[in-house]
C-alpha cells in the first residue's frame, strides 16, 4: 500500500453558504406575480430585478424555448417540464435566469442558459427530478453560479458545458441534496468547479472537471457517498496552464468533510489531493495523480495496478 504524503493545507477557495444565500435569495413579488423593482429591494436581496410587470417565460405544464429570450423562467408548478432547444436561449442580467419552485420538475437544456453580473443561471428551491444538459449553462460576474441547489435534485446529468467565472459552476448548499451528479462533458470555474456543503450521492466523472484551485471541494459539513473518476479532474493555476515543477501548486480535490466510500480513480487527477479521512483507490494501469496526496490518520491510498510517479 502506498503511503499518503503530507503537505501543508492550502486555503480552500469555494463560495461560502452566506455568499450562496445572497446569490440565491429571491426578490419579493407583487400579487400580480411581477418582481418588485425598487432599488431598496434590490439592495436588500443582492439581486437586480427584472422590469416591473415582467412576466415569467414559464408557466405550469410544458414549456419549450426555441429562440432567444432575455427574461426569467419561473418554474413554480409541480410536475413542470422545461426544454431549451438547440436554437433556444435564456439570458438574464443581474437576476436568476431559471428559478425552480415546484416539485418533480424535469429540465432539458440543449441550448444556452446564461446569467451575467449577479445571480444564478439555474437555482433550485424546490425539487428537480432530472436535469439533463447537452448545451451550455454558464454564469459570469463577481458572485455568480451556473447551478445552485438548495433543495433536492434527483439526477444532474451534464453532457455539455457547465461554466462559471466568479463563483462555483455547481454549488450544493447545506440543505441541498443531489442523488447523482454525472459528468461526461465539461464543468469548469475560475474557483472551485464543484462546491458541496450538503449531500451528494455518487459523483461520477467521465469528462473534464476543471478549476483554478480546490476543483472539487467538500466542506466540513459536506457528505459525498463516493467519487468515481474515469476522466480528468484538474486544477489549473491562474497562469492558465498546469505546472509540473515539481508538483502542481493547486488542489484538485479537497475533502474537509466525509466521502463515505472514498475516491475511485481510473483516470487522471491533475493536482494535489487532500483526502481528509477518505480513501483514495488507484484503479488500473491508467490511473494517475500528478500532485501531492495528503490525509488524516484515517485516510489511506490503495494501489490496484502499476504505480507510476509523475
User: Is residue 117 very low, low, confident or very high in pLDDT (cuts 50, 70, 90)?
Assistant: confident
Which range, 42-51, 140-149, 235-244, 254-263, is most confident?
A: 254-263
CB 41: neighbour CB atoms within 10 A? 14
What is the DSSP secondary-structure string of 117-140? Answer: EEEEEEEESSEEEEEEESSEEEEE
- CA-to-CA distance for 17 and 24, rounded, in angstroms? 10
How much is the pLDDT for 237?
75
| CA-atom Rg of the chain in angstroms | 20
Strand, coil or helix: 100: strand
Evaluate if residue 171 carries a pLDDT over 80.
yes
pLDDT score, position 144: 87
pLDDT value of residue 60 = 75
Please tell me whether the peptide bond between 153 and the residue prior to it is cis, using omega within 30 degrees of 0.
no
Cβ contact 1:23 at 8 Å:
no
> Rounded to an integer, what distance in angstroms lies between the CA atom of residue 190 and that of residue 13?
10
Rounded to whole angstroms, how far apart are CA atoms 245 and 13?
22
Rounded to whole angstroms, how far apart are CA atoms 106 and 243? 41
Residue with the three cell numbers 462559471: 164
Q: Check residue 174 and give its pLDDT.
A: 96
Length of the chain: 310
Does 54 score more than 70 pLDDT?
Answer: no
Residue-wise pLDDT tens digits, 147-161: 999 999 999 999 999
How many CA atoms lie within 13 Å of 165's alpha carbon, on the beta-carbon side? 7
User: For residue 23, what are the β-bridge partners?
Assistant: none
CA distance 173 to 248: 29
What distance in Å separates the CA atoms of residue 192 and residue 266, rounded to the nearest whole number? 22
Average pLDDT over residues 127-144: 94
Mean pLDDT of 79-100: 93
Q: What share of the chain is helix, strand, coil (3-state, %, to 5)?
A: 5, 45, 50
Binned at pLDDT 50, 70 and 90, residue 52 comes out as very low
Nearest 10 degrees: Cα torsion 51, 59, 148, 87? -90
Q: pLDDT value at position 19?
A: 44
Higher pLDDT, 166 or 136: 136
- For residue 44, the tally of other CB atoms under 10 A from its CB is 12
Higher local confidence (pLDDT), 167 or 137:
137
Which residues lie below 8 Å from residue 11, measured CB to CB, with a gap of 6+?
A: none
Q: How far apart are the first and last CA of the chain?
A: 18
Amino acid at each position: 500500500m502506498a503511503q499518503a504524503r503530507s503537505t501543508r493545507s492550502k486555503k480552500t477557495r469555494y463560495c461560502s453558504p452566506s455568499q450562496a444565500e445572497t446569490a440565491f435569495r429571491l426578490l419579493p413579488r407583487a400579487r400580480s406575480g411581477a418582481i418588485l423593482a425598487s432599488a431598496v429591494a434590490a439592495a436588500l436581496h443582492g439581486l437586480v430585478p427584472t422590469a416591473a410587470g415582467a412576466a415569467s417565460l414559464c408557466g405550469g405544464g410544458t414549456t419549450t424555448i426555441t429562440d432567444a429570450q432575455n427574461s426569467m423562467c419561473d418554474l413554480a408548478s409541480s410536475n413542470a417540464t422545461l426544454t431549451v432547444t438547440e436554437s433556444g436561449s435564456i439570458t438574464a442580467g443581474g437576476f436568476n435566469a431559471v428559478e425552480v419552485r415546484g416539485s418533480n420538475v424535469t429540465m432539458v437544456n440543449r441550448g444556452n442558459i446564461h446569467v451575467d453580473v449577479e445571480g444564478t443561471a439555474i437555482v433550485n428551491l424546490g425539487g428537480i427530478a432530472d436535469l439533463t444538459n447537452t448545451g451550455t449553462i454558464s454564469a459570469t460576474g463577481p458572485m455568480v453560479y451556473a447551478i445552485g441547489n438548495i433543495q433536492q435534485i434527483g439526477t444532474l446529468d451534464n453532457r455539455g458545458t457547465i461554466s462559471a467565472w466568479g463563483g462555483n459552476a455547481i454549488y450544493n448548499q447545506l440543505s441541498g441534496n443531489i442523488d447523482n451528479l454525472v459528468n461526461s462533458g465539461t464543468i469548469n470555474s475560475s474557483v472551485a468547479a464543484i462546491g458541496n456543503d450538503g449531500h451528494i450521492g455518487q459523483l461520477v466523472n467521465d469528462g473534464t472537471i476543471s478549476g483554478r484551485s480546490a476543483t472539487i471541494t467538500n466542506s466540513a459539513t459536506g457528505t459525498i457517498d463516493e467519487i468515481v473518476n474515469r476522466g480528468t479532474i484538474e486544477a489549473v493555476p491562474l497562469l492558465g496552464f498546469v505546472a509540473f515543477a515539481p508538483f502542481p501548486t493547486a488542489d484538485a480535490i479537497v475533502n474537509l468533510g466525509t466521502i463515505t466510500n472514498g475516491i475511485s480513480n481510473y483516470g487522471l487527477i491533475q493536482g494535489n489531493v487532500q483526502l481528509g479521512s477518505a480513501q483514495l483507490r488507484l484503479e488500473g494501469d491508467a490511473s494517475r495523480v500528478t500532485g501531492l496526496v495528503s490525509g488524516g490518520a484515517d485516510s489511506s491510498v490503495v494501489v490496484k495496478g502499476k504505480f507510476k510517479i509523475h
